[in-house]
A = this chain, B = another copy of it.
Amino acid sequence: MSDVGAVGAMLAESLPYIQRHAGTTVVVKYGGNAIAGSDGPGAVGDFAADVAMLRAVGLRPVVVHGGGPQISEWMSRAGIEPVFSGGLRVTDAATMEIVQMVLLGIVNPLLVTAINAHGALAVGISGQDGGVLRTVPRDPALGRVGSIVGVGGAVIEALLSAGAVPVVATVGVGEDGTLYNVNADEAAAAIAVALQASKLIYLTDVAGVRRDRSDPSSIISRASRSDVLALVASGAADGGMIPKLQGCVAAVDGGVGAAHVLDGTVAHALLIELFTDGGIGTMITAAG
């Protein structure tokens, strides 16, 4: 009886959190690294179960994903050498075809199918669907890399209202229909602002934002937008963390309630963050 008793107590303890989050929209960025690192027992499966659970207890989760490692792997298969400039993938026409094929043809169906396996109604869409991610070229030297200039939330809202879980691949579309490679961290923040989400959550493979990049014990549990900007300015944040931190600031500046950086390799990180007192990782709000 002890086991079921513990389940009862824990379920009861999550009640106030479930009530608080009911009906709110939560945008979750799930990174290509997290997917790539899923050789262990069930990381994608656990993530998918958590997303289905959020929907089941009344939240409205939206998943946004990239797929950097997967794109690089397929480029290498095709004999194309990835080139990066300022942390961004230089994207010529041939590379863009691989970006589309990997994000839309491999990564997106993988996530959709995993979430559906847990009884949810996941639907994969992409930035060109209904003008979800409207973009312009970011820099001629980067080729088909896009900056987001507008988000069309109607299709995402329609899917949420129909009870579905939208899973968004971060390909963007120009006014003339050209497709662009869009940074997934930036896209997640823009979508969270467009939907006026209550939370934006980055699931990464580190335990949170560190005050000292080389000290795993220096995780910051709570920060204001100005703390975050100072951290970026000081050089304390490393390369992969910078676009996430910029996304956090853009989100809270745009009206999102809070932004989080969590360790997606912890089992059920989403449930722990949303439904327990403990919480994990770093939370950024306007005022800290």
Given contacts A53-B15, A131-B116, A266-B1, contact A7 B275 (CB under 8 A): yes
CB neighbors of B among A101-125 (8 A): 101-106, 108-109, 112-114, 116-119, 121-125
Does A271 count as interface, using CB distance less than 8 angstroms?
Answer: yes
Residue of A105, A114, A177 with most partner-chain B CB within 10 A? A105
Contacts of A4 in B (CB 8 A): 272, 276, 278, 280
* Docked CA distance A184–B106 (Å): 20
**Interface residue stretch chosen among A156-164, A208-216, A220-228:** A156-164
* Docked CA distance A5–B53 (Å): 16
Does A171 count as interface, using CB distance less than 8 angstroms?
Answer: yes
Contacts of A280 in B (CB 8 A): 1, 4
Q: Looking across the interface, which residue of chain B has its beta carbon closest to that of A114?
A: B177
CB neighbors of B among A122-139 (8 A): 122-126, 128-131
**Interface residue stretch chosen among A16-24, A81-89, A231-239, A248-256:** A16-24
- Contact bitstring A251-288, B, C-beta under 8 A = 1, else 0: 00000000000000011110110011010100000000
Q: Check B7–A276 contact: CB distance below 8 A.
A: yes
**Interface residue stretch chosen among A33-41, A44-52, A185-193:** A44-52
* Docked CA distance A112–B131 (Å): 10
Does A97 count as interface, using CB distance less than 8 angstroms?
Answer: yes
Given contacts A162-B158, A266-B1, A267-B5, contact A101 B112 (CB under 8 A): no
Q: Looking across the interface, which residue of chain B has its beta carbon closest to that of A6?
A: B10
* Docked CA distance A185–B158 (Å): 28
Residue of A5, A6, A154 with most partner-chain B CB within 10 A? A5
* Docked CA distance A179–B105 (Å): 11
Q: Looking across the interface, which residue of chain B has its beta carbon closest to that of A103?
A: B105
Q: Looking across the interface, which residue of chain B has its beta carbon closest to that of A11?
A: B271
25 intermolecular pairs with C-beta atoms under 8 Å apart? A4-B272, A4-B276, A5-B272, A8-B269, A10-B10, A11-B53, A11-B275, A12-B268, A22-B56, A56-B57, A100-B105, A101-B101, A101-B106, A104-B108, A105-B105, A109-B171, A113-B173, A113-B177, A116-B130, A121-B130, A122-B129, A122-B130, A124-B128, A154-B162, A155-B164
